[in-house]
Amino acid sequence: MSGHKKVFHQVPAEQLTFLQLQKLGRHQHKLPHYLKKQCGQYPKVISDYFLRHLRIAIELQGITVHEAPEPLPECSFRTPLGKVGFAIDRTLMAEVLECYYGGMNPADQADQPVSSSEERMNERLGGALSQVFLRMLFGPSSPENLELVANAYEQSHWEYRLALTFTSPASGAQGQVHFHLDDQLVDELTRRMTAPTVCATTHRPARLIRHIPVRLNCVLVNEQIPLAQAMALRPGDILAVRLPAQCDLQINQQKLFRATICERDGSLQATSLVSVIKP
């Protein structure tokens, strides 16, 4: 056989990098780094959800971005910006079901058929955590309403899969939570990454004032004691006070609102704000 040889390397075909035509000329090469950066800014958000709602303590170990969609999402949700998919490893799901429903999980949980309880928990976790995931990516402009895609035959083109690896300190088990992004969601992220920044001078000054950060102080207790007693206080001393039913909300020592103190999820919260009308 004569002629010019077209292959001049000894690299096996399975190790070659094949260019995807739909990604040429676009900024998607920056997207994996952007996804890891956005989710890395909030390493405790998903762990706090598991602790608050399911009483499971897990720690984030790492974030990886894959172009392969496997494992495919257990459930997917439609938003105005595109579709997001959700999947969770069965080792992690086993701890969720054990804490939520009680009982002991079998050692070969991965080989067991998927039960109806696991399907319901997948949809519940998928909807809540996908909303948290979209808030990490899009911030305040993230879509609020997620619609479960119930049609099993509807085809979805998943372009990226974000895998968050968690470890349970109690059991030592390790599992991953997966979020899938379809082509429409990826296009929206790419558009926002490459959108030109608007100069601040084009806005009206009145609008810019509204974005100035201010510190809001919540005054829980305002106690009046003699100066001699205050000077006698030492670190570790106990000062008996009575927590009032209402507190003052101040900005720069100016009282703006009266609020009612309540307890929720183990933390104090201010609610029922009433504006303070000055004479």
Across the chain, mean pLDDT equals: 81
Structural domains in the chain (count): 2
246 and 152 assigned to the same domain: no
Query: Quick one: 79 and 174 in the same domain?
Result: yes
Clarify whether residues 261 and 180 are in a common domain: no
Per-residue pLDDT at 202: 52
Mark whether 138 and 252 lie in a shared domain.
Answer: no
Radius of gyration of the chain (CA): 26
User: Binning pLDDT at 50, 70 and 90, where does residue 77 land?
Assistant: very high
Domain harbouring 243, CATH code: 2.30.330.10
Residues 37 and 120 in one domain: yes
Residue 24 or residue 215, greater confidence: 215
Q: How much of the chain, in percent, has pLDDT values that exceed 70? A: 81
Same domain (yes/no): 99, 226? no
Lowest mean pLDDT among 4-8, 170-174, 264-268: 4-8
Same domain, 160 and 222: no
User: Is residue 176 domain-resident?
Assistant: yes
- 96 and 222 belong to one structural domain: no
| Domain co-membership, 177 together with 243 | no
257: part of which helix (H) or strand (E)?
strand 254-264
- pLDDT per residue over 163-210, tens digit each? 999 998 877 888 999 999 998 998 888 888 876 655 444 556 666 677
Domain housing 241: 214-275
Distances (CA, A) of 107 to 28, 63, 89, 91, 146: 41, 27, 14, 9, 34
Per-residue pLDDT at 267 exceeds 80: no
Alpha-carbon dihedral sign for residues 106, 49, 118, 185: negative
Do 184 and 228 lie in a common domain? no
Q: Write the pLDDT tens digit of every residue in 234-252.
A: 888 888 888 777 888 888 8
- Is the domain of 253 the same as that of 136? no
Q: How confident is the model at residue 1 (pLDDT cuts 50, 70, 90)?
A: very low
Residue 217: band (very low, low, confident or very high) from pLDDT cuts 50, 70, 90: confident
Q: Which of 133, 164, 194 corresponds to the end of one domain?
A: 194
Distances (CA, A) of 87 to 6, 69, 135, 208, 244: 43, 11, 18, 42, 46
Tell me the CATH number at 107: 3.40.1550.10
Q: Distances in Å between the alpha carbon of 255 and those of 178, 218, 275?
A: 46, 10, 9
Average pLDDT over residues 142-148: 88
pLDDT at residue 76, as a whole number? 93
CA distance 270 to 261: 5
Q: How confident is the model at residue 5 (pLDDT cuts 50, 70, 90)?
A: low
Residue 19 confidence (pLDDT): 61
Residue 261 vs residue 9, higher pLDDT: 261
Q: Is 226 a domain residue? A: yes
Q: Say if residue 181 is in the same domain as residue 53.
A: yes
- What is the b/e burial string over 163-193, where b = at least 16 CB atoms within 10 angstroms of the residue's CB? bbbbbbeeeeeebbbbbbbbebbbbbbbeee
The stretch 41-52 carries a mean pLDDT of 89
What pLDDT sits at residue 200? 47
In a domain, 12, yes or no: no
